[in-house]
Amino acid sequence: MTGKTLYEKLWDAHVVRADADGTALIYIDRHLVHEVTSPQAFEGLKLAGRQPWRASSILAVADHNVPTTDRSQGIADPVSRLQVETLDTNARDYHLTYFNMNDRRQGIVHVIGSEQGATLPGMTVVCGDSHTSTHGAFATLAMGIGTSEVEHVLATQCLLTRQMKTLQVRVEGQVGPGVTAKDIMLAIIGEIGTVGGTGYAIEFAGEAIRALSMEGRMTICNMSIEAGARCGMVAVDDTTIEYLRGRPYAPQGELWDCAVDAWRELVSDADAVFDKVVVLDGTAIQPQVSWGTSPEMVVSVGGRVPDPSEEADPVKAEGMQRALQYMDLVPGVPISAITLDRIFIGSCTNARIEDLRAAASVVRGRKIAPTLKQAMVVPGSGLVKVQAEAEGLDQVFIEAGFEWREPGCSMCLAMNADRLQPGERCASTSNRNFEGRQGSGGRTHLVSPAMAAAAAIAGHFVDVREFSS
């Protein structure tokens, strides 16, 4: 008998029942909830006269609509305010643990879950948000779900689903200095495309992945969905366990020791067989910049905007043509010649302490380019913000000309007041460069925090490895 992949171990441990046709009911250990995708689910629950199956499995937080400026006056936009107030009410009515807008632990749902130790190895984790894949960094089966499924999990603690195929993405060798988790993931998406992971659970492995911190692994797993995969994961090792030790919701004492013994098993067996394997050479990965309107449209910072006429597939060529038009770029232009209006350092992809340290180390002692309209840093959580301030990073950013904001999703998706104006171009550490994602008509280039910081200083893209005062 061959061994099991990590995904198969997680799956097998959570099957409540399985039908002959492959439809299975899997048990959900942790349910993360935010204000945008939950109101209709709670309403459905209420209309049916149901209660949450296990309210203690739920951690709720307001993140998408919250202002990142002074919150003492509440939310100005009445529609956003109602949505957050609806979560306030639901959390109160159903006795949920809830970090409201003014809680010091408040932050982006995918930052606070792991920060609090609410995401533990071996768990199934769901949230009405496609970036739930982030939590797979802790060897969890973590998936984004729709609002009807949120209601289903609330009512039954289970998800109706089918087993996915397995894809191992192995990044061999070590990446060079200045090349980060974000660059690795953009390079992976550039390689396998936005459909490459559809129908698969991805396990990220190889020397370059093992060498990453938990923050880096979260960045990688976060963008699994941009490669089409509902979930991505990394096996447990010492890095995982050390990150979790002492976190508020992590087990303590004897229970901790038992848990760690169990967690050590959460690796793919040596003889496990994946349905598909993709191997990348980590040593060849350069800092990445997206040029188009899909995360697969990326090139190395030393490259040029590609030419659709050189693309053989007509549907793809047309997509490239449309993207160039939207992005107001012409083929052949060096990436380093692209000038920027705004810089956004934040999001569930890149707003953890390590990301802010990386950006601050580039910015330290420098000023942002006078041609920029704005450069902002939005910490991923209140606790990340406190930590950064304790390290003096806020001052580094402020002295350089950045705005230092309150935590939230902010300009990753522009549901609050933070957004691009039509035609503006932004270097962003977020995860999606779709048309209008950061504001109607806005143009997004996805990069790492260090690359965004370097672009802020230069006013245009620049290879962070060659960046000097």
- Residues 64-123, interacting with other proteins (CB under 8 A): 64-65, 77, 79-80, 82-83, 86, 97, 116, 118, 120, 122-123
Among 46, 104, 245, 316, binds other proteins (CB under 8 A): 316
Contact region with other proteins (CB under 8 A), list: 3-11, 155-163, 282-290, 331-339: 155-163
Q: How far is the CB of 230 from other proteins (least distance, A)?
A: 5
130 binds other proteins (CB under 8 A): yes
Among candidate residues 130, 114, 113, 140, the one with its CA nearest the CA of residue 27: 140
Tell me, residue by residue from 438 to 467, as one string, x for binding to other proteins by CB under 8 A and - for no binding: --xx--------------------------
Verify binding: residue 63, other proteins, rule CB under 8 A. Answer: no
Nearer to other proteins, 336 or 349 (CB): 349
Contacting other proteins within 339-398 (CB under 8 A) = none
Number of residues binding to other proteins, judged by CB under 8 A: 87
- Of the candidates 261, 217, 248, the one whose C-alpha atom is nearest the C-alpha of residue 235 is 217
User: Which CB sits closer to other proteins, 321 or 339?
Assistant: 321
Binding residue (CB under 8 A) for other proteins from 67, 107, 128, 206:
128
Compute the least distance from the CB of residue 149 to other proteins, in Å.
Answer: 7
Q: Which is nearer to other proteins, 325 or 371 (CB)?
A: 325
**Is position 59 an interface residue for other proteins (rule: CB under 8 A)?**
yes
Does the footprint of other proteins cover residue 428 (CB under 8 A)? no
Residue 417 binds other proteins (CB under 8 A): no
| Least distance between other proteins and beta carbon 243 (Å) | 16
Nearer to other proteins, 145 or 214 (CB): 145
CB 54 within 8 A of CB 157: yes
Cα–Cα nearest to 96, from 32, 47, 166: 32
Query: Which of 68, 219, 294, 448 lies at the binding interface for other proteins (CB under 8 A)?
Result: 294
Cβ-based neighbours of 450, under 8 Å, separated by 6 or more: 178, 180, 287, 358, 359, 361, 362, 464
Q: How far is the CB of 427 from other proteins (least distance, A)?
A: 19
